[in-house]
Structure 1
Amino acid sequence: MPDSSIYRPLPKVLLFDVNETLLDMGKLKRAVPKAFGNKHAFKQWFGLLLYYSLVDTVTGTYHPFGHIAEAALDMTADMLEEKRLSPTTKKELVGLLSQLPAHPDVPRGLQMLLDAGFRLVAFTNSPQLTLDAQLRYAGIIHFFERGLSVDEVQLYKPHFHTYQAALQTLGVAPTEVLLVAAHGWDVAGAQDAGLRSGFIARPGQTLYPLATPPTYQGKDLPSLARQIIG
């Protein structure tokens, strides 16, 4: 919970991470282990996807998120000592990123925040076309003023410049923006860039204990929205 003794003016813009924060990845959590015949495959794959997006960033290389996702499937096969998937199967699995439903609590939480007068912007490591497809499929695209992709800067969150680029595009100062995410690394990155943050404690997600705690945290989006609205 935030410290109520500290006055903070309400943010103007709320940036929302997408995968896991807004969208339920249950389809992929079932499909990836099934494809490999290994119950550990999803965690291995998604961890590699995030890890090597950061490797691209720190080495000054850039590959689209979907390409890293496919490469991470090959790495998952090697690390789990399973057979590599066919190119068709890999594309089908990565394509599921665009076919994920919203978490049940998300529409209500977004409506609460929209009714309270906040500008809502989706902000993701996925390419712009993927982001648009995700929000349309999940039936939540109408809540957002716009969507932003790191494709513009060819660096992945939580790099400092990804948040700075978002601020510049939106024409706002860091103190006017709050990032909502279900990932401790995204929360840490946003706060390092001078933004406030809200952490949604989705199952299996946790904060980075060595980073500054988020401004707000809750079990779902409505509980977080109530804190933000005040």
Structure 2
Amino acid sequence: MPPHAHGPVRPAALVLDALDTLFPLGPLEWRFREAGIPRVLMTRWCDHLLRDAFALSLLGGERTFEDVARGSLRDITGNQIAPAAEDVIIDGLARLEPRPEAARALDTARAAGLRTAVLGHGGGERVRLLLERSGLPAEALTGGGGPTEWKPAEAAYLSAAHDLGVPPQRLGLVTAHGWDAAGGRRAGLVTGWSSHLEGRFPSVFPRPDAQGRDLAETVERLLALPAPG
């Protein structure tokens, strides 16, 4: 039976993506400049990081998020980046600030009785640090111990549903990445996509169950879905 064969229903819990959904990566640009790396390479680094993470998810291999992030930095700079400069950029990943409407989106979900959590790539320690620094009302999920269970692999989403104690079809996913929404849909989740990052939903993936201009509107539209029969 395909996901939501009888239509998506209002979720009972909510999981949000971390990087570039809750926490924009744009502020890392100054750290690239400080490291002597042209800021235009930041986008290339992000793409390289995701490419390698996706490949490792298929191939297997015990690598952490930090392994892949550092390896991508070395690759895009031709292994010319100094260790101290590398540390400056990696340290910045734990010091990102949330989007302005992030707290409102989470408060709306919690006021409606939904448990809220954040799922990042390859382990939850950095997500936990981001949440502690920001004070956002959500818990960090691990999403598996390594890249073999990184999103968009089905196991990462099913692990989140298990950790939150709900069946996949009652877990709502909020993300700004089309590939992430597609991964969540395949795992049976109720998917919400915020257009603040990509602008248009990628045409190669099935449409999400709800979408909004930002995180708050996306959460509101997930909550507006019909209650389960």
Is there any run of 5+ residues in structure 2 with no aligned partner, and where? Answer: 1-5, 225-229
Residue number in structure 2 paired with 1:109: 105
Aligned 1:87-98 pairs, distance under 5 A: 87-98=83-94
Say whether the 8 Å CA contact 2:104–2:216 is kept in structure 1: yes
Out of 179, 193, 201, the position equivalent to 1:199 is 193
Out of 140, 144, 152, the position equivalent to 1:147 is 140
Q: RMSD over aligned Cα, in angstroms? A: 1.9
Say whether the 8 Å CA contact 1:24–1:101 is kept in structure 2: yes
1:168 aligns with 2:197: no
Say whether the 8 Å CA contact 2:35–2:88 is kept in structure 1: no
TM-fit CA distance, 1:56: 1.2
Residue number in structure 1 paired with 2:181: 187
TM-fit CA distance, 1:7: 6.1
Residue number in structure 2 paired with 1:219: 213
Residue number in structure 1 paired with 2:3: none
SS of residue in 2 equivalent to 1:21? coil
Q: 1:59-116: CA deviations, max 9, x gaps? A: 11131101110110011112xxxx7111121122111110001101111111111111
Residue number in structure 2 paired with 1:3: none
Q: 1:197-218: CA deviations, max 9, x gaps? A: 1011123464331211001111
SS of residue in 2 equivalent to 1:152? coil
Amino acid at match of 1:105: E
Aligned 1:1-230 pairs, distance under 5 A: 8-78=8-78, 84-140=80-136, 143-144=137-138, 146-152=139-145, 154-204=148-198, 206-230=200-224
| Structure with larger RCO (C-alpha < 8 A, sep 6+) | 2
Question: Going by fraction, where is helix more abundant, 1 or 2?
Answer: 1
Give me the TM-score of the superposition, normalised by structure 1.
0.87
Q: Percent identity?
A: 24
SS of residue in 2 equivalent to 1:150? coil
Is there any run of 5+ residues in structure 1 with no aligned partner, and where? Answer: 1-5
Say whether the 8 Å CA contact 1:176–1:195 is kept in structure 2: yes
Say whether the 8 Å CA contact 1:188–1:208 is kept in structure 2: no
Separation in structure 2 between the aligned mates of residue 18 and residue 42 of structure 1, nearest angstrom: 17
Tell me the matched-pair count.
218
Give me the TM-score of the superposition, normalised by structure 2.
0.88
